[in-house]
Amino acid sequence: MLEAKLAMSEAMVRVRFAPSPTGYPHLGNIRTALFNWVFARHNNGFFILRIEDTDVARLVEGATDVILESLRWLGLDWDEGPYFQSQRLELYREAADRLLKQELAYKCYCSTERLESMRQEQMKRKQPPGYDRRCRNLTREQRAEMEASGITPVVRFKSPLEGQTSFNDLLRGQIIFENSTLDDFVLLKSDGYPTYHLANIVDDHLMEISHVLRADEWLSSAPRHVLLYQALGWQPPQFAHLPMILGADRSKLSKRHGATAITEYQEQGYLPEAMFNFLVLLGWALDDKTELLTREEIIKHFSLERISRAAAVFNKDKLEWMNGVYLRGLSSEEFAQRAIPFLEKDLQTAINRPLDIGYVRQLMPLAQERARTLAEVPQLSEFFFVEELEYDVGLLLSKTDKAEAIRSLQASVARMDSLKDWNAAPLEAVFRPLAEELKLKTGVFFGLLRVAVTGRTAAPPLFQTMEVLGKERCLKRLRAALDKLVV
């Protein structure tokens, strides 16, 4: 019984996403969250959210909210948390005290100025920068002296001076570091807050995290973490360092790369389901051909073994394509629902709000076929809403001369006037023969009508557009076009 329980808890997957609220999460951060979440769901495990707010100086107001919002947007629900490290300071202090007591850590009184100039000097001499361990072996007297001078010390870890530290990375195999390349890093800052290294280890242990799936950039500090686990006598979790997502210039994603915050993609009209699908494909693939997968399929098939080791460059074109596919896959009702906020927000202010929902529903399918993002919908459909079309007369005359355009439009007005059944099919049944009568190619004639009716040369199919616009609007617009030509 006990054994069964042990085996079970051993197999229990508990992963965490542990962002720091020093900025808004970008694609890379969220991809890490997503891999953790999918891994948890695949294994019927737990996905834990932990906010690593131990840097008081760099804390960004509202960042935590944006983190939560980003996760919610993508449907990455968490089973525990959010925990806040700022509320757990006592735990880190206890761990640091223990290490101090066991002489596995020591207090360091060096000033930041000294450390800075030391680093400068090391760089100048092309030496690897790192703490020179001046305080590592202070005598009792020296320490008393420092304490007396009122300096608030930091606590540093006593890294082993020789030997190796290694661990098995689930993606990369055995990773070995020479201890001599590690310096005595800080565990506890002088403000009483822990550094990432300490807090991370304490929490991962206390929260019984089974797998740490984090970005590649952490690989270099992994030996410090392993050493810390050893010093504290704890079993380290399994590590997997995920490939990073790079910007188009192949460097680490940062503010420089434009739309970094994931919430901006929401504003730009991307669907969370498309983003989810796209993101999982950045570093993971099911097979040699599947690109489109539902969330359920992803959960079902996800595995660490199929994660690639190489960093990936974010390819926005592909995201856009995929978003378009998801957009077209929506029911027209669903599409309308999602597009309406964008219409309300971006349609020109001269257009009355609230919009006529019935009318919106009618025209949405025409935009749905063409949009790659929801943000494009207002632009694609604006001509449906404006009272007066604004366009250059020249557009009417791009394929015909003036006399012919006038003659054609007049004939069209006459036919329209007498048309009872205002639908795409009957409209086409009227205008196709009319083109023949006018001795115009359909391309030319329909092109003329298109400009008159939409003010553009590129628009949804003419007769469907006319159907949605309605007889009154169409007549009005043809007459407006005639006015433009006659004047």
Q: Does 159 bind RNA (CB under 7 A)?
A: no
Which amino acid, residue 69? E
Alpha carbon separation from 278 to 61, 293, 309, 311 (Å, rounded): 29, 9, 18, 15
Q: Which of 255, 309, 345, 402 binds RNA (CB under 7 A)?
A: 309
289 part of the active site: no
Rule CB under 7 A: say whether 327 interacts with RNA: no
Annotated catalytic residue within 5, 158, 189, 255: 255
SS (H, E, C) 145-182: HHHHCCCCCEEEECCCCCCEEEEEECCCEEEEEEHHHC
CB of 151 to RNA, least distance (A): 7
Single residue of 5, 44, 90, 111 touching RNA by CB under 7 A = 111
Stretch that binds RNA, among 98-106, 262-270, 320-328, 415-423 (CB under 7 A): 320-328
Instruction: With contacts defined by CB under 7 A, name the span among 34-42, 88-96, 179-187, 262-270 that binds RNA.
Output: 179-187
Binding residue for RNA, selected from 1, 2, 148, 176, defined by CB under 7 A: 176
First to last CA, the chain: 94
Say whether residue 115 binds RNA (CB under 7 A): yes
If phi over 0 gives left and psi between -120 and 50 gives alpha, with beta otherwise, what is residue 459?
Answer: beta
Query: 433 to 472, contacts with RNA by CB under 7 A?
Result: 442-443, 446-447, 450, 457-464
Which listed residue (42, 98, 136, 189) binds RNA by CB under 7 A? 189
128 binding RNA? (CB under 7 A): yes
Q: Smallest Cα–Cα separation from 183: which of 120, 123, 128? A: 128
Closer by beta carbon to RNA, 9 or else 433: 433
Rounded CA separation 17/67 (Å)? 11
Q: Where are the alpha helices (DSSP H) in 419-470?
A: 424-437, 442-454, 462-469
Which residues inside 217-236 make contact with RNA, applying CB under 7 A? Answer: 217-221
Asked if 175 is part of the footprint of RNA (rule: CB under 7 A), the reply reads yes
Find the shortest distance in angstroms from Cβ 1 to RNA: 36
Q: How far apart are CA 279 and CA 242, in angstroms?
A: 13
CB 305 within 8 A of CB 273: no
Largest Cα span, the chain: 109
Shortest reach from residue 164's CB to RNA, in Å: 9
Within residues 254-283, the interface with RNA by CB under 7 A covers 281-283
Report the distance separating Cα 150 and Cα 171, nearest Å.
48
Known catalytic residues?
255
